[in-house]
Structures are given as C-alpha cells and as structure tokens.
Amino acid sequence: MARTLYYYCAPEQSESRRREFSQLMAAAQAALATGQAALWQLQALSGAADYEALLAATALAAKGKAPADAPILAPDDVLLELGVGAVGVGLRLGALSQFKPLVIDFEQVAVRQRLLRGGRQKEAVARAVMQGLADGALVFDATAGLGRESMILAHAGAQVLAFERQLPIWCLLSDGLLRAGRSRFYPFPVPTLHALGTIRDYSGSARPEVIYYDPMFPERGGSAQVKKDMHLFQAVIGADRDTEDFVQAALALATKRVVVKRPDYAPPVAFADIKPAYSVDGGQCRFDCYQP
C-alpha cells in the first residue's frame, strides 16, 4: 500500500519561498508518474489548523489516545513542511513524530566547517573519488542521501550529478542544494540533483569518469547511539538491498572508476569476477575502488 507524504507550507514564509515550495511539490507530483506512484501518494495540508491537528493527533496516537476519526501520520507516512521561521524544508516520520524535523542546512556552522575544511587530501572520500581527475571532471554520486559527500566532492573540484531514489529524501536534498547554490559560503558549482531515480535513468551523452556509490548498510545494532537525525533518515529509507546490481550498472557507465563505501567490518562487494582493485582507508569505513 502507498505511503502518504503530507506537505505543508506556512503562509508566514516569504512569497519566493512559498513559490519554491510549490515548485518542489509539483516536481514530486511529476516524479510519481515515473514509477513511484505505487509507493507514495501526496496529500496537501491546506492550512495551519490542519497541520497542527495532524501533529497533535499523531502525538496522541503514540500514547494510544487519538480520537478515532482524527487523521494521523501512520508510522510509515511522512510530513514535509516549510514551517514558520524554518530555514528549509523539514521532514518528519510518523513513527518518530516527536523528533524535530530533519532539515538539510549546508549553511549550519558545523556542517560547512566539515564540508569546507577538506579539499582533495583530507577527506578519504575525495581521495578515493578524485584521484587522477582534473578539476571539472564529471562524477556521479549514485546515492546522494543528505548530500554531504556530494558537496565534499563538488568542493574538491568535481562536477557532481547526484541521484536519489527515495521521494522524501529527494525533496529535502533538492531544497538543501537550492539554498546552498545561492549561499556565499559555497562559491563553487554545487551538485546538480538529477530527477528522482537512479543512475539507470540517466540518458545524457557525457559519461562520468567516476561513480561514487554509498548504499544504506544494515545497522549493526546499537542504533540508540546513532544521532537523532541519522536515526530518522535511516528509518525513512531502510536498508538498500540491491547493491550488486548497482555496482554492475555503475561499472558499465563509469569510464575510470567506481568507488563503493563500506563499513570497516563489512566485506567488499564481490561477485563473479568483480572485486575491488584497491581500497582507501576511511577510518570506520572503507572506500573500495573498482576499475571498469
């Protein structure tokens, strides 16, 4: 059964932000026509009263006290909101509705310090992906997620085309990159987000030199230690279980290299005669590099 994605924009937001929010939701609606229709249905919340009632009833439902006929966010449903005073579009999940919304904000001090301190040498992902590439090389981030590594690669000089197949995350990232693109902190071309989907949907003629692939790996227990926003992100997505297929698709498309991120305790993706040529150590993770 389709999950519901509710959406709401506060009338207090500026006219231009409200317009951007409606454009985003129009793009999400268009994406449903391209294969996500079975997964999601969109539902607008027309006013602050509906928005507040939905959150209040969902909170009561979590305590087993919701009025029978009140609309609530089911555990799998999500709410995308541009609330009063919010810097960006936020995401809530029914099952974790008590969490404050997850927003992608590349301008936050801690986030931008991490993104900008790196360059090619400091960040292992940039070393693995950018080795031997000239500035402006076309790199696909096949699994954009919250966009942090896409931004690191863009800062390291890549022209990044990012892919994301989960509709709520795609909406969040689309808004995050839009704001990053006009931020004074990022005076370089920020990643471009492809239409919702995977590298299989790419129909351009330019082939990427490198494809970076960072699927969601099943958690090894102890999720209480995962930070709240990562916990929410993981709960929206679940694990990605089609890694071999995508490594193969990436190897058919990249001209120089496919880089796969794995936790340090996990074996490399290896099947048939495909195995990594070498790896770059990333501390708690590893970047396995495959040559087409």
Ligand X SMILES: C[S@@+](CC[C@H](N)C(=O)[O-])C[C@H]1O[C@@H](n2cnc3c(N)ncnc32)[C@H](O)[C@@H]1O
Residue closer to ligand X, measured from CB, 70 or 239? 239
* The binder of ligand X chosen from 60, 148, 159, 229 (CB under 6 A): 148
Give the pair of three-digit tokens for residue 55. 């959150």
Residues 75-134 that bind ligand X (CB under 6 A): none
- Applying CB under 6 A, does 147 fall inside the site for ligand X? yes
24's CB contacts (< 8 A; 6+ apart) are: 89, 171, 174, 175
- Which residue in the set 106, 163, 186, 290 belongs to the binding site for ligand X (CB under 6 A)? 163
Segment lying near ligand X (by CB under 6 A), choices 56-64, 105-113, 142-150, 185-193: 142-150
CB of 8 to ligand X, least distance (A): 22
Task: Name the DSSP class of 33.
Answer: I
- Distance between CA atoms of 87 and 103, rounded to whole angstroms? 8
Strand order in the sheet with 192-193: 192-193, 159-162, 138-141, 210-213, 257-263, 285-290, 278-281
Q: Tokens 């029914």 map to which residue?
A: 94
Under 8 Å between Cβ of 91 and 236: yes
Least CB distance to ligand X at residue 14 (A): 28
Between 71 and 197, name the residue whose CB sits nearer to ligand X: 197
Instruction: Give, as ranges, the residues between 265 and 284 that touch ligand X (CB under 6 A).
Output: none
Please say which residue, 51 or 163, places its beta carbon nearer to ligand X.
163
Nearer to ligand X, 133 or 260 (CB): 260
CB of 196 to ligand X, least distance (A): 9
- Which residue bears the tokens 């995308």? 80
Could you say which of 54, 103, 142, 158 contacts ligand X (CB under 6 A)?
A: 142
Distance in Å, CB of 100 to ligand X, minimum: 19
Tell me the β-bridge partners of 285.
263
Q: How far is CA 78 from CA 74, 95, 224, in A?
A: 8, 9, 21
> Residue 143, interface with ligand X (CB under 6 A)?
yes
161 binds ligand X, rule: CB under 6 A: no
Q: H helices of the chain, where?
A: 15-31, 48-62, 109-117, 119-122, 124-130, 148-155, 167-181, 228-237, 243-253
Residues 209-238 that bind ligand X (CB under 6 A): 214-216, 237
- 92 and 78 Cβ atoms separated by less than 8 Å: yes
Considering the complex, what minimum distance in angstroms separates the CB of residue 268 from ligand X?
17
What does the CA dihedral 42, 44, 45, 47 come to, rounded to 10 degrees?
A: 170
Applying CB under 6 A, does 186 fall inside the site for ligand X? no
Q: Which residue is nearest to ligand X (CB)?
A: 145
Q: Is 66 a residue that touches ligand X (CB under 6 A)?
A: no
Question: With contact defined as beta carbons under 8 Å apart, do 208 and 139 qualify?
Answer: yes
176: contact with ligand X by CB under 6 A: no
**Cα torsion for 224, 99, 162, 271, to the nearest 10°?**
30
Q: How far is the CB of 49 from ligand X (least distance, A)?
A: 33
Binding residues (CB under 6 A) for ligand X: these are 142-143, 145-149, 163-166, 169, 198, 214-216, 237, 240, 246
